[in-house]
Amino acid sequence: MFLGYRDVLFAAGDACVASLTLWHFCEEIEYRSSALGIHNHAVGSDFYRIRMTPKFYRHSGRVFAFLAGEFRRHVPDEPAIMFEQLPFAKIPGKDKRAAVFGVLGSQLPGHNLGHQRIPKHYADWNRHYDAGEDVTQIYGQHANMANAA
């Protein structure tokens, strides 16, 4: 969902932060395959994954709250409304629900990552990276340094 709605979530953001975050989500696509393989080999219990799902959601909520707090602390000049408007409100409910059910479904026994759809941005990012382009500021808004002074 984050990669699929990168225009809504990241286009207006700082290019360094937006690009880093999108890179992170692209890397997560690779990590998920490795993580599931390692889990299946080391733990081997689908029911352990199911049992840990609520902890994942709590952890994710805490991470988002922490990040929002850090942005408020380190970017104090930003109008408060910027922290109150949730960009997720612009994403259709059916797509948000699909993302939640996708995460839940990935914890079920027999989940097969080979059937997962890979977002278009993942291939785009890899194409830019493989071409040797600077991907540290590939997406988002570039700060106008002349106005920053």
User: Is a pLDDT exceeding 90 seen at residue 4?
Assistant: no
Instruction: Give the pLDDT score at 149.
Output: 40
In a domain, 122, yes or no: yes
In a domain, 55, yes or no: no
- The boundaries of the domain holding residue 42 are 6-49+87-143
124 compared with 77, residue with greater pLDDT: 124
Query: Do 96 and 86 contact (CB within 8 A), yes or no?
Result: no
Q: How far apart are alpha carbons 81 and 84 in whole angstroms? A: 5
- Average pLDDT for residues 132-139, to the nearest whole number? 88
Q: How far apart are alpha carbons 14 and 143 in whole angstroms? A: 7
Task: Using alpha carbons, select from 21, 33, 4, 32 the residue that is nearest to residue 121.
Answer: 4
- Give the three-state DSSP class for 138: coil
Domain count, the chain: 1
139 DSSP assignment: S
Average pLDDT of the chain to the nearest whole number? 82
What is the pLDDT confidence band of residue 147, given thresholds at 50, 70 and 90?
Answer: very low
Q: For 38-90, write each residue's pLDDT tens digit.
A: 888 898 888 888 888 889 889 988 998 898 888 888 887 777 766 666 777 88
List, in sequence order, every beta strand (DSSP E) within the chain.
Answer: none
In a domain, 79, yes or no: no
- Average pLDDT for residues 99-128, to the nearest whole number? 82
Task: Using alpha carbons, select from 94, 69, 96, 103 the residue that is nearest to residue 83.
Answer: 69
From the CB of residue 129, how many other CB atoms can be counted at a distance below 10 Å? 14
| Token pair listed for 33 | 């395959």
13 DSSP assignment: S
77 compared with 146, residue with greater pLDDT: 77
In a domain, 74, yes or no: no
Instruction: Give the pLDDT score at 94.
Output: 93
Instruction: State in Å, rounded, how far the first CA of the chain is from the last one.
Output: 36
In a domain, 121, yes or no: yes
In a domain, 45, yes or no: yes
In a domain, 56, yes or no: no
In a domain, 126, yes or no: yes
User: Is a pLDDT exceeding 70 seen at residue 11?
Assistant: yes
